Structure 1
Amino acid sequence: MKVLMVVTSHDKLGETGEKTGFWLEEFAAPYYVFRDAGAKVTIASPKGGMPPVDPKSNLPDSETEATHRFKADQAAQDDLAHSIRLREVSVNDYDAIFLPGGHGPLWDLAADPDAIALVAAFAKADKPIGAVCHAPAALGDVRGKDDDFLVRGKRVTGFTNAEEEAVGLTDVVPFLLEDRLKERGAQFRHGDNWAPYVEVDGKLVTGQNPASSAPAAEALLRLLTPR
């Protein structure tokens, strides 16, 4: 199994002067779900090189078993530091794609032509696509096999309006993810704030929030290794 993980290259939290990026738990937990299952994981980002980690995801309150494991894993850190550029990636080289969240994807992956084209290529190849928390933003402008929005009519989830309000960033983000997906015709569903929640519709897997990152990766893995 070959899994491509795509993380954001965007590090500015709007006009706040604060930093953002990808959420470490949402990268680390899926990374080890795939690795422990024997998959080869390749990391890519729009700009390549070391993607920005949201500093808040490095705080003690945000640490998990997976993030501790990552911080002690030099090989994994080297993999991340040398992410390849999206424009150098071919769908033909991978069995599935998974996108970790963090607020960064709202600014780059949601609008990046290479990201949109790559996710569309996975959809048209009928290969599994996974995204968690804010990363379903990368699905918004993707067109599927019928050239309609990929998410139209699909059951999806992601970081909710209520969760965005709870972290105080409703007026900072360029758009609210829940609203964007609904505008594209998705059947947006969710669980309680911060509780694990995953939707699987065909080959599309989405997770609501950081707590959903490992369950979403496990759901994607089941699509790759059906019993």
Structure 2
Amino acid sequence: PEFAHPYEVLAPHTQISIASPLGGAAPLDPSSVEASTSDAVSVKFLKDRESLWKNTEKLSSFLGPMFDLATDATSHTLINEFYTHNKIISAVCHGPAALTHVKLPSGGFLLDGQPVTGFSNAEEDAVGLSAVMPFSLEDKLSEASGGRFEKAKEAWSPHVVIAREGRLITGQNPASAGPLGQKVYEAIFGDLKV
């Protein structure tokens, strides 16, 4: 859902470039695919849009947001350039890990004092991945934002956070992917209420 829902909301209205750490075929998480079998948007997306993740552009990084995008200089440069040029930056689930060390031209960090969300400790524990992750995303985002991490009252509920005058949009978990896509659409096309 984290890829399918935002893509389906945005693709009819804007050009989307798909990149992966190595380029070419990007692996899909089998457990995410299995967990999405009752999600009609995701099932249709997997069936009809396979070329999107089979033919990605190369991003100089690998192993995903929790393992290397949090410290990847190329990712930080791209995020910084997007922010500097007034583009929308969004991330959902574990993706906000890539935002934790992004330094702005002013010398401050992107998340300094900003509300943010991402996969919570309770959700990580529920899927049994806390022990294998290099760090707690909730703790890292809370630290990077000066304690401004937000989460839904109940694990697995959708939760989207808007910061930086609508230019930074984060979603907590897979259930947040559709609402995040809608907020990105609203931010791009001028309907976002901040």
> Could you state the TM-score of these two structures normalised by the residue count of structure 1?
0.77
Aligned equivalent of 1:62, options 32, 36, 39: 36
Q: Does structure 2 conserve the Cα–Cα contact (< 8 Å) formed by 1:158 and 1:207?
A: yes
Offset at 1:112? 1.9
Quote the Cα distance in structure 2 between the aligned partners of 1:83 and 1:109.
17
Quote the Cα distance in structure 2 between the aligned partners of 1:39 and 1:51.
22
Q: Does structure 2 conserve the Cα–Cα contact (< 8 Å) formed by 1:46 and 1:114?
A: no
1:226 aligns with 2:190: yes
- Partner amino acid for 1:220? V
Gapped runs of 5+ residues in structure 2?
none
Quote the Cα distance in structure 2 between the aligned partners of 1:110 and 1:82.
24
Offset at 1:57? 1.3
Quote the Cα distance in structure 2 between the aligned partners of 1:72 and 1:163.
28
1:137 aligns with 2:113: no
Q: Does structure 2 conserve the Cα–Cα contact (< 8 Å) formed by 1:128 and 1:224?
A: yes
Quote the Cα distance in structure 2 between the aligned partners of 1:171 and 1:197.
24
Quote the Cα distance in structure 1 between the aligned partners of 2:75 and 2:168.
16
Between the two proteins, what is the percent identity of the paired residues? Answer: 41
- Partner amino acid for 1:195? S
Aligned to 1:118: 78
1:189 aligns with 2:165: no
Q: Does structure 2 conserve the Cα–Cα contact (< 8 Å) formed by 1:197 and 1:207?
A: yes
Offset at 1:81? 0.9
205-214 or 25-34, larger mean C-alpha shift: 25-34
1:84 aligns with 2:57: yes
Q: Does structure 1 conserve the Cα–Cα contact (< 8 Å) formed by 2:142 and 2:149?
A: yes
Aligned to 1:105: 65
Quote the Cα distance in structure 1 between the aligned partners of 2:134 and 2:105.
28
Aligned to 2:27: 52
Number of aligned residue pairs? 184
Give the structure with the larger strand fraction.
1
Q: Does structure 1 conserve the Cα–Cα contact (< 8 Å) formed by 2:116 and 2:145?
A: no
1:200 aligns with 2:156: no
- Partner amino acid for 2:89? I
Quote the Cα distance in structure 1 between the aligned partners of 2:51 and 2:69.
22
Offset at 1:125? 1.4
